[in-house]
C-alpha cells in the first residue's frame, strides 16, 4: 500500500492528458491560505514543484494573492502610486514612455505571478532585434499630405526598412525599469522573487566617445573667444559641467571675486512644456568648484555683453526675464538644449575640429586632467560623480596611455647609467 501523506503535504495525481498535477495550500500576501496547483511530466517532478512552493511559503515568502493581475495592470498601478513619488519629473516621464512603448505591448498581457526569467529574456531579445520604426509605426505616422518633404513616409511605411534598432543602453534601461517595478512587488510580498534581476544582457557598453585632444581643445577655445558661446564653452571645457548644469547656472551661484562657483540646480525642458529648474542629478553633483582665472575673465566679459543685450531689449520696449541666468538667448530667455547643440556644431566647423557632442566637452575635461596626472578622486569631485568607480569605468580608455607613461618612467629610472642616489633604507 502507498504511504499516506501527512496533513499539509498536498495531493498528487495523474491527469487524463498524461501530465501529473500536485495541489496544496500556501500562504498569500494578504495572510490567507490558497490552494495552488503545479504540473510536471512525472509524479516526482510535480511533487518537487509543490514541495518547493510550500517550503517558500513556510519561510515567509507568500505568493501573489491575486493570480489574475497582469504585468500591464501592475505596472500602471506602480507608476501611479509608487514611481510618481520616487522619481524626478523628467525621469518619471522617461519611465512612463518606456512602459507604454515597450513593456506593456511586449509582456503586459502575461500574468504577474506567472512571469518567468525566460519570458523577460525573450521579450528583450525581440526588442533588440526588431526595427522599432516598423514596430512603433514611426514612419507610417508621417502625414502623406504634408508639403514638407521630411514629413512624408520615406522608409518602413513604403517598404524600405530602415532597421532602426534600440541601443544597448536603452535595452539596459528597459530591464532596469522592469526590475525596479518587480522589486517593489517583492518587498510587498506580491512576488516571491524578482525575475528581471537575473537577466544578463551581454555586452551593453555604450558607444565609445572620442574626446578632443589637447591641440583640438586649444583651437576650439581660440575660435570661441569673443563669441556669445565663448564663456560657456570655456567654463564647460575647463570644469566639466553637464549641459543642464551650465544652462541652469545663475549669477548668484558665482563669486567672481573669490573665483568659486556653486552647482545647485539644472535647467531642463519640463515634460509639461516650458523650462523648469530641477535639483542636481545626485547628491554628489551639488558641489563647489574653484574657477580658473581664464573663466573668471571670460565671465566678466560675458556679463558686460549680457548687460548690453538687456539694455537693447528694454530700449525696444521688451521685457528681460528676471531669472538671473548666466547664459541666455539675446532676448534673455533660457537657452534651448537643441539650439546650443546646433551652435556648438557650427563652432566646431569654424574651429576646424571634429564635430563632437556637447557632452563630450565634459569627457574632454576629464581625459585631459587624467593625462596630466590628476588623481581620480579629484576628478570625481570635480565632475560630481557619486562613486569613484563611475569615474574609473567611464575613463578606462585613458588607462593604457597612463600605463605606457608609467612603464616608460620606470624604464628611465632603471636604465640610468649613473646612480648618485643613496641606497634605500632597510628595516632592521
Under the banding of pLDDT at 50, 70 and 90, the label for residue 30 is: low
Structural domains counted in the chain: 3
pLDDT of residue 428: 42
Q: What is the Cα–Cα distance from 23 to 8, expressed in whole angstroms? A: 10
Q: What is the Cα–Cα distance from 326 to 329, expressed in whole angstroms? A: 10
pTM of the model: 0.69
Does 1 map to a domain? no
Q: Does 410 or 25 have the greater pLDDT score?
A: 25
Under the banding of pLDDT at 50, 70 and 90, the label for residue 52 is: confident
Does 339 map to a domain? yes
Domain span including residue 25: 11-58
Q: Are 74 and 104 in contact (CB under 8 A)?
A: no
Residues 368-406 have pLDDT tens digits of 888 888 888 898 999 998 888 878 777 776 666 666 777
Residues 236-264 have pLDDT tens digits of 999 999 999 999 999 999 999 999 999 99
Instruction: Give the chain's radius of gyration (CA, Å).
Output: 30
Q: What is the Cα–Cα distance from 117 to 140, expressed in whole angstroms? A: 33
Does 150 map to a domain? no
Q: Does 410 or 67 have the greater pLDDT score?
A: 410
User: Is the model's pLDDT at 205 over the cut of 70?
Assistant: no
Does 222 map to a domain? yes
Does 285 map to a domain? yes
Q: Are 229 and 93 in contact (CB under 8 A)?
A: no
CA-CA distances (angstroms) from residue 16 to 21, 47, 191, 319? 10, 17, 31, 82
Does 296 map to a domain? yes
Report the CATH number at residue 87. 1.10.150.130
Average pLDDT over the chain reads 85
Does 243 map to a domain? yes
User: What are the grid coordinates assigned to 189, written together?
Assistant: 510580498
Specify whether 16 is located in the same domain as 108.
no
Specify whether 54 is located in the same domain as 76.
no
**Average of per-residue pLDDT across 308-329:** 92
pLDDT of residue 203: 61
Does 33 map to a domain? yes
Domain boundary among 293, 321, 355: 355
Specify whether 285 is located in the same domain as 319.
yes
Specify whether 52 is located in the same domain as 81.
no
Domain boundary among 324, 355, 386: 355
Amino acid at each position: 500500500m502507498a504511504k499516506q501523506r501527512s496533513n499539509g503535504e498536498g495531493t498528487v495525481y495523474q491527469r487524463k492528458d498524461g501530465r501529473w498535477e500536485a495541489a496544496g495550500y500556501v500562504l498569500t500576501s494578504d495572510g490567507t491560505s490558497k490552494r495552488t496547483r503545479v504540473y510536471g511530466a512525472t509524479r516526482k517532478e510535480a511533487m518537487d514543484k509543490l514541495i518547493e512552493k510550500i517550503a517558500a511559503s513556510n519561510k515567509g515568502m507568500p505568493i501573489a494573492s491575486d493570480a489574475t493581475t497582469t504585468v500591464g495592470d501592475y505596472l500602471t498601478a506602480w507608476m501611479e502610486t509608487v514611481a510618481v513619488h520616487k522619481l524626478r519629473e523628467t525621469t518619471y516621464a522617461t519611465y512612463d514612455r518606456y512602459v507604454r512603448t515597450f513593456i506593456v505591448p511586449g509582456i503586459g498581457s502575461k500574468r504577474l505571478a506567472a512571469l518567468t526569467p525566460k519570458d523577460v529574456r525573450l521579450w528583450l531579445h525581440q526588442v533588440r532585434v526588431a526595427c522599432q520604426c516598423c514596430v512603433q509605426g514611426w514612419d507610417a505616422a508621417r502625414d502623406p499630405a504634408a508639403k514638407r518633404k521630411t514629413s512624408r513616409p520615406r522608409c518602413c511605411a513604403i517598404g524600405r526598412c530602415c532597421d532602426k534598432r534600440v541601443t544597448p543602453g536603452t535595452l539596459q534601461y528597459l530591464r532596469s525599469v522592469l526590475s525596479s517595478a518587480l522589486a517593489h512587488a517583492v518587498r510587498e510580498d506580491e512576488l516571491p522573487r524578482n525575475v528581471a534581476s537575473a537577466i544578463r544582457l551581454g555586452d551593453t557598453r555604450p558607444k565609445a566617445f572620442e574626446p578632443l585632444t589637447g591641440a583640438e581643445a586649444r583651437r576650439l577655445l581660440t575660435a570661441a573667444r569673443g563669441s556669445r558661446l565663448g564663456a560657456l564653452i570655456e567654463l564647460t571645457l575647463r570644469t566639466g559641467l553637464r549641459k543642464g548644469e551650465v544652462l541652469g547656472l545663475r549669477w548668484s551661484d558665482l563669486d567672481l571675486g573669490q573665483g568659486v562657483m556653486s552647482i545647485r540646480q539644472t535647467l531642463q525642458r519640463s515634460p509639461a512644456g516650458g523650462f523648469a529648474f530641477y535639483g542636481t542629478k545626485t547628491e554628489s553633483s551639488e558641489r563647489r568648484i574653484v574657477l580658473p582665472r581664464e573663466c573668471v575673465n571670460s565671465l566678466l566679459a560675458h556679463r558686460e555683453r549680457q548687460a548690453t543685450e538687456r539694455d537693447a531689449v528694454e530700449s525696444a520696449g521688451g521685457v528681460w526675464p528676471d531669472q538671473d541666468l548666466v547664459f541666455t538667448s539675446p532676448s534673455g530667455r533660457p537657452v534651448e538644449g537643441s539650439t546650443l547643440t546646433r551652435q556648438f556644431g557650427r563652432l566646431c566647423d569654424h574651429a576646424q575640429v571634429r564635430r563632437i557632442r556637447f557632452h563630450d566637452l565634459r569627457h574632454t575635461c576629464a581625459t585631459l586632467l587624467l593625462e596630466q596626472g590628476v588623481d581620480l578622486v579629484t576628478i570625481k569631485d570635480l565632475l560630481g560623480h557619486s562613486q569613484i568607480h563611475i569615474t574609473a569605468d567611464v575613463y578606462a580608455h585613458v588607462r593604457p596611455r597612463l600605463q605606457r607613461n608609467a612603464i616608460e618612467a620606470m624604464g628611465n629610472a632603471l636604465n640610468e647609467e649613473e646612480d648618485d642616489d643613496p641606497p634605500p633604507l632597510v628595516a632592521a
